A and B are shown apart, each in its own frame.
Chain A
């Protein structure tokens, strides 16, 4: 049994007050400074003004949870709670304000978000929102991993797996064994879409090194020998720099000459695992099949930042990460070559559930990008990469140590959520989750099994009514 892996988290409070969900308005004309709101609020939103205790301070909005007690108990009805516009403007329709602020919370505390009162969101949606994960009860055991009472292994192997190992008469292995690499959790760090400042890269590298995972990085943007053990350089096919071939793994962009480059890199350093980056598009499944058959051991399929297909050919709806992973996985399974290749999926992995669901749909592991920046308080305002405006959270000033802690906290919380999902399913290995489609509940499928059947019978009642 491998060493028990556990991520130690430690609180890292934000540098800037987080954007809260609510804004509290106190009508100066009505408020009589009685202090009733201070007594009613259990989240310390209201307080008296330090300089003048006769007056009330401005409410600390970001702490408000929206219980409305102060509003309902104010003797002069002077308080109003409204949704914060700044909060609603965070991110975009994919990277929603909830996703960004929940990730901030996890980066700060390292804790799994817990709340009462049931689920608040829509019934289902598109992509990952159109599936549920299974659980076990009575007839199958579950596992109790998150509290450490049962160990659930989240490590995954990267590299080619040999289907058969041959031994000689003395019991020595004679089959050639390709290099493999084990990472303790199925989350790699991908290249940064923006915000590539030296200190940010260093924070990411430090976190990768602490967690024992890998950081995919463009060596032209940033490279530091100190973190070589955890770096996966993305190499240009023409120039395979010597300085970086010492890494355990390297990536090459897919192109017509990629197989030659793979060969060249292997010859230069036989111990390096080579991964090919393929954009998720209409032909991703064919490309993955072609590469696997050609002996490529790792295929990294990337979607765009919002988990959508890269360069959709027509004006129709672009395809989504969940469906694309499923398609590639199913095709490789059908060709009986799925186990020969490691699939990394990335692009639009925004919350912990996306990790579990990507793996359930058939990826071996995922790579994350934007969440690394969100851990450093990024608001995804897009100021820096579209309009050249100032970064509201000054990413280039983040202390790498502190930044690394925020990333470690986020990943620690995500891993614990993965343990919750695995535990509920009764799995003790994340490797068992890969492509375990029988333990996924897909919206279209369950809809077909239940509602499509029962609501097809609706005629009978009408007929009776006519009598």
Chain B
């Protein structure tokens, strides 16, 4: 596997939000420049020709761990004008699932491509599921002999007869439609997918012409609205995803509110500009496994080599649905858990309908095993996979690989303010079709951020495998025994 090049790519915003805040009391500071001389990280700087010292670059500061260092600027300042504290903006950011550290950590990974150390970058604060699980590393079994490149993170997306599709990393990009996100974000995702030898999915919104050169790395979606679906789009790709449900709004159809339906979006979807587009729910042609099989046959008739992925949400009987999909001829069962999703959804649906992914993976894995078909089915999990650790835990619970969505958007600068659905869309220019706002994301910049994120994730997964003494990610599938579970945390946690 040839690894893509990691390059340093900074945030596109001039002011970075960081955990640490270095404050200089301007009334005491005499701009002597001592701090600029001692700090090895470049937090303080006196630009040539300037009398006054520049504002501290807090995001470069290492924080409290600097206190014992000989170069700690606070101790060196002759006027005691410097102090180090916690940044107020940092305190405001984040939520239970994506804590401030997960958001900032993902930004850092996208910037540097390097994995991060620390429990705060592995789990969130939801008090359950992945956030209460940890790998049981046993140092005795760490095999230093295995070198990083010899550890395989490859997974097969088709385990049945037909075309072999193998991706180099155990994750690919989830469906986000043109209309929900901007074209540049789509292209950046496709470019990163090509660089890593994996896939990205068009979602239900058509296949923009610009995406054509990435055909080899694109999954196209056939969803209930059939927006932008044509014979041509199905024939061009290797994997076709039948979307029966999605985790953001299990049991409900897609929403694209009128504000985001620009002329271009409408053209691709063969719809009317400015009118809200609601995909119906469900496929009214599918009320049984036999009907579902008809759908699979229909895709295979148009593209006989296509690998079929079936995207379902986590209903109570999701395990039976998975078995049914196997008999209908699907290659991939893609489980989309209820807590994830990037799309606009009623809040009541996001919180309450269908079960969290952690339970669904195990149920499906066990049920397919019992049915004796686990070896022929690829199980992919999504909906709340925030970090490489979540990905590895999902695999240990019984998935073959995972699908990312929100994590990619965060890498591109999302702060999860949640206002992506209406008006001009995302204020940060990611989930928008507003031509002015969409300029914020440059394709190459975005692609490199995602390449870096994937690199960091792969390194972390490799690290986990090493510490478990495994040489391939395939060995980790369904290894519950590698995980410890602390149980649901008690305490006054309430959500809406």
Chain A residues within CB distance 8 Å of chain B: 22, 25, 40-43, 65-69, 71-75, 77, 80-83, 93-94, 96, 98-99, 102, 112-126, 129, 132-142, 144, 146-147, 149, 351-353, 356-357, 417, 420-421, 423-426, 438-439, 441, 443, 446-447, 449-451, 454-455, 457-462, 465
Contacts and interface: CB of A to CB of B under 8 A. Distances in A.
Nearest to A146: B252
Contact of A137 (B244, B356, B437): B244
**Residue in A69, A122, A352 whose Cβ sees the most chain B Cβ within 10 Å:** A122
Interface in B70-120: 88-89, 91-93, 95-98
Interface stretch (B1-9, B339-347, B370-378): B339-347
Given A65-B417, A118-B248, A465-B140, A42 B346 contact: no
Nearest to B397: A454
Nearest to B384: A118
A457 B480 contact: yes
Given A118-B342, A119-B97, A137-B282, A94 B494 contact: yes
A455 B483 contact: yes
Contacts of A455: 480, 483-485
A149 B428 CA distance: 35
Interface of B: 11, 13-17, 55, 88-89, 91-93, 95-98, 125-129, 131-132, 136, 138, 140-141, 244-245, 247-248, 250-253, 255, 278, 280-282, 284, 286-289, 291-292, 312-313, 315-317, 320-321, 324-325, 338-356, 358-359, 362-363, 383-384, 397, 406, 409, 414-424, 426-428, 431, 437, 479-485, 488, 492-496
Contacts of A146: 252
Given A72-B14, A455-B485, A116 B345 contact: yes
Contacts of A114: 255, 344-347, 421-422
B284 to A, nearest CB: 8
B395 to A, nearest CB: 14
B131 A121 contact: no
24 contacts: A25-B88, A43-B427, A68-B93, A69-B13, A69-B428, A72-B17, A93-B494, A112-B348, A117-B406, A118-B97, A119-B351, A123-B96, A124-B127, A134-B354, A138-B287, A139-B317, A144-B281, A147-B278, A421-B349, A424-B251, A424-B281, A449-B363, A454-B362, A460-B481
Given A73-B15, A82-B92, A137-B251, A352 B431 contact: no
A147 B255 CA distance: 11
A451 B485 contact: yes
A462 B317 CA distance: 33
A42 B345 contact: no
Given A136-B282, A137-B313, A102 B347 contact: yes
A120 B421 CA distance: 16
A457 B353 contact: no
B47 to A, nearest CB: 15
B129 to A, nearest CB: 5
B140 to A, nearest CB: 6
A141 B281 CA distance: 9
B495 A67 contact: no
A98 B496 contact: yes
Given A66-B92, A138-B324, A140-B287, A122 B126 contact: yes
Nearest to A463: B481
Contacts of B288: 138-139
A118 B341 contact: yes
B56 to A, nearest CB: 10
A22 B485 CA distance: 36
Nearest to B139: A465
A73 B429 CA distance: 14
B427 A457 contact: no
Contacts of A135: 245, 250-251, 313, 315, 353-354
Given A124-B128, A137-B313, A42 B480 contact: no
Contacts of B484: 455, 458
B316 A134 contact: yes
B417 A66 contact: yes
A122 B494 contact: yes
Contacts of A129: 493-495
Given A123-B127, A135-B245, A138-B289, A42 B427 contact: yes
Contacts of B289: 138-139
B315 A134 contact: yes
A122 B350 CA distance: 12
A421 B250 CA distance: 10
A421 B353 contact: yes
B4 to A, nearest CB: 27
Nearest to A440: B316
Contacts of A124: 127-128, 488, 493
Given A117-B406, A420-B348, A461 B315 contact: no
Given A113-B347, A136-B251, A67 B480 contact: no
Nearest to B354: A135
Contacts of A462: 136, 138, 481
A117 B494 contact: no
A421 B348 contact: yes
Contacts of A460: 481
B244 A121 contact: no
Most chain B beta-carbon contacts within 10 A, residue among A69, A118, A457 = A118
Contacts of B138: 461-462, 465
Nearest to B278: A147
Given A144-B280, A421-B349, A443-B488, 10 more contacts: A42-B437, A99-B496, A118-B341, A122-B493, A132-B356, A135-B250, A135-B313, A417-B346, A420-B353, A441-B354
Given A132-B338, A351-B496, A454 B355 contact: no
A82 B140 contact: no
Given A441-B316, A450-B363, A73 B347 contact: no
B96 A121 contact: yes
B336 to A, nearest CB: 11
A425 B132 CA distance: 30
Contact of A123 (B55, B129, B136): B129
A74 B55 CA distance: 13
Contacts of A126: 494
A351 B280 CA distance: 26
Looking at A83, A134, A135, the one whose CB has the most chain B CB atoms below 10 A away is A135
A351 B351 CA distance: 12
A138 B315 CA distance: 10
Nearest to A93: B492
Nearest to B283: A138
Contacts of B417: 65-68, 117
A113 B352 CA distance: 14
A81 B87 CA distance: 10
B314 to A, nearest CB: 8
In the A-B complex, the 6 residue pairs with the closest CB atoms = A424-B251, A121-B495, A123-B128, A135-B251, A116-B420, A461-B481
Contacts of B250: 135, 137, 424
Nearest to A122: B493
B17 A133 contact: no
Contact of B89 (A80, A123, A125, A138): A80
A350 B295 CA distance: 42
Contact of A121 (B126, B316, B355, B358): B126
Contacts of B358: 450-451
Q: Which of B245, B356, B496 has the most CB of A within 10 A?
A: B496
B230 to A, nearest CB: 24
Contacts of A147: 278
B317 A102 contact: no
B138 to A, nearest CB: 4
A441 B427 contact: no
Contact of A68 (B17, B492, B493): B17
Contacts of B342: 116-118
A118 B339 contact: yes
Contact of B352 (A71, A74, A123, A132): A132
A251 to B, nearest CB: 30
